[in-house]
Structure 1
Amino acid sequence: IEGGSIEFELYNVTADGKVDEDWEMDVIQAIDGEDETVVLDEDGNFTAWWDFNDEDIELSVGSYLINITDSEDLFVQVEFNVITKTSDIDTRKTAFKIGETIAFNVESSFAQDESYIKVWEPSGALYWRTDDFVDWVKVGTIQRILYADQVAGGNPMMLLDDAPLGTWTWTWYDEDADELDDGVFAVEAAAADVVAGLVEDLTTDIDELVDEIAALADDIVDYSSDFNSVKDNIAAVADLAADAVAAAEAAADAVTSVASVAGEAAAAAADAAEAANAAKDAADGLTTLVYGAIGASLVAALAAIVSLMQISKRIAG
């Protein structure tokens, strides 16, 4: 009935369905710009609100029912839940690459209308200030801001090629510029730049390896030359060794010959010694006779001299 009054009663029930506690609700409706008690319009509908922070009602976390009764004693029940206040935000990733778009996971128990995020680059310079968050989407009991609605000046927050690498910071503010949360994320080089850098490094490494191989080839040539010289020296030493072996064999033959001659000389010496001994024995036997003959000869000579002296004297006389 148009203009009919509406009564609101809030209560909760126990597990077995019994009413545990109930409260009268002061529900308000705006009529011609004034806050008025709720009445039905011509279609039997109404739009109104209730201040959850009513000092006369203290609700804990849990499920509640609102009983709405009109002047005809017709009623309807609406269930609602009281949950812990949630206000959570974090970056979509801990690190973004050049060319990617910065985005946040923003959640709140109620829409933080006209809240916004500021983003600073590593130097501390302000890089972005998002547009106010106004298009909140309810998912279950949580309000969220879609990635597509996180823009700055109407544009996605894409990291351009000249964006500095390093650690960036951000802060989420409410409509009164009070800080709600803050955090950091990293900005890294684009994957293509990383690959290009790796290719460049690999090219440099290959060039250095080519130089090292060339130097090694030169060393191998030098080593080959040295090896040939060593081989020639080894051949010369082998020739000298062969000559030395031949000389040793000749010396051995000579020693053998000398040994043979020495044997013969030894035999001859033995024969000579034996002959000498025999001669000595013979000489010992002849000694007396010889001395006697010598003495006789001396006597005869002396007699001849005496005879000559006598003849001489006679001639002179």
Structure 2
Amino acid sequence: MTPAPALPASIDATATLLAGADYVAGRDLATVLFLALRMKRPLFLEGEAGVGKTEIAKVLATVLARPLIRLQCYEGLDIASAVYEWNTMAQMVEIRLAEAAGDVDRATLGSELFSERFLHRRPVLQALGDTGAGAPVLLIDELDRTDEAFEAYLLEVLSDFQVTIPELGTIKAPEPPIVIITSNRTREIHDALKRRCLYHWVDYPSAERELEILRRKVPGVAARLSREVVAFVQAIRREDLFKAPGVAETLDWATALTELDAVALDPALVSDTLGVLLKYQDDIARMSGSEAKRLIDGMRAQLQAAQ
């Protein structure tokens, strides 16, 4: 088996590693990621939706050749879905077979029923096991969607990289997984969990960095259109919108405009395609027509001044 690539030895090496997978990171993100890998600490990423938090875990798994284990959080997520549960149907069959065979030694049967054979490993417990390919990347995505009870359960996992199962005992990871936790900040995460992690706020990128992201991710977009798309998106984020577009929407919009054979922005084209960039009707209605023209005129003046 080919050994997994070594962890980056410096901040610059971390940035280069990410860039090799077309993830354009600022030095602040490369620094905290390097420290999280070196210190074997979970990395807690907060920021608006669509700014690339989840992508960091995917890129890490790719460039480090590690398995990616993803726990997608949602309201009502419980231990049975996230960590482990017992295969109760198989346990019932085992009990019936033991009774039919006349072999009902309760102590022996009990220890067999609550063994690894009947244990369903969910994402968290999978990440604490031996994958055979090095420590996996555990992505706990959108933790803010869960409740505080589940958040509290994670404290043992994030501090000691272990899970305690009452019937089986404590299962500890042979090697700490690389843990990436994301939150869109729909609610505050408790300080007890944050203390166990390194923290980074993933902000919207600067115009220069967003343009580089666009060039890497959607290379077929014309140069002029790329500049205008990024400048327009940067301008629209400064408006009072219910939900400003993220980088993911920028890439989708540039792709859509290219499919329409656009080479530059105009008010009619922007108004017709705002549903790709904005996801709330009130925002779309507000930015259509004359507002689109105003932003385009301002964007063009800014681009000309920069030349």
Q: TM-score, normalised by structure 1?
A: 0.23
Which protein has the bigger strand share? 1
Larger Rg: 1
Higher relative contact order (CA 8 A, sep 6+): 2
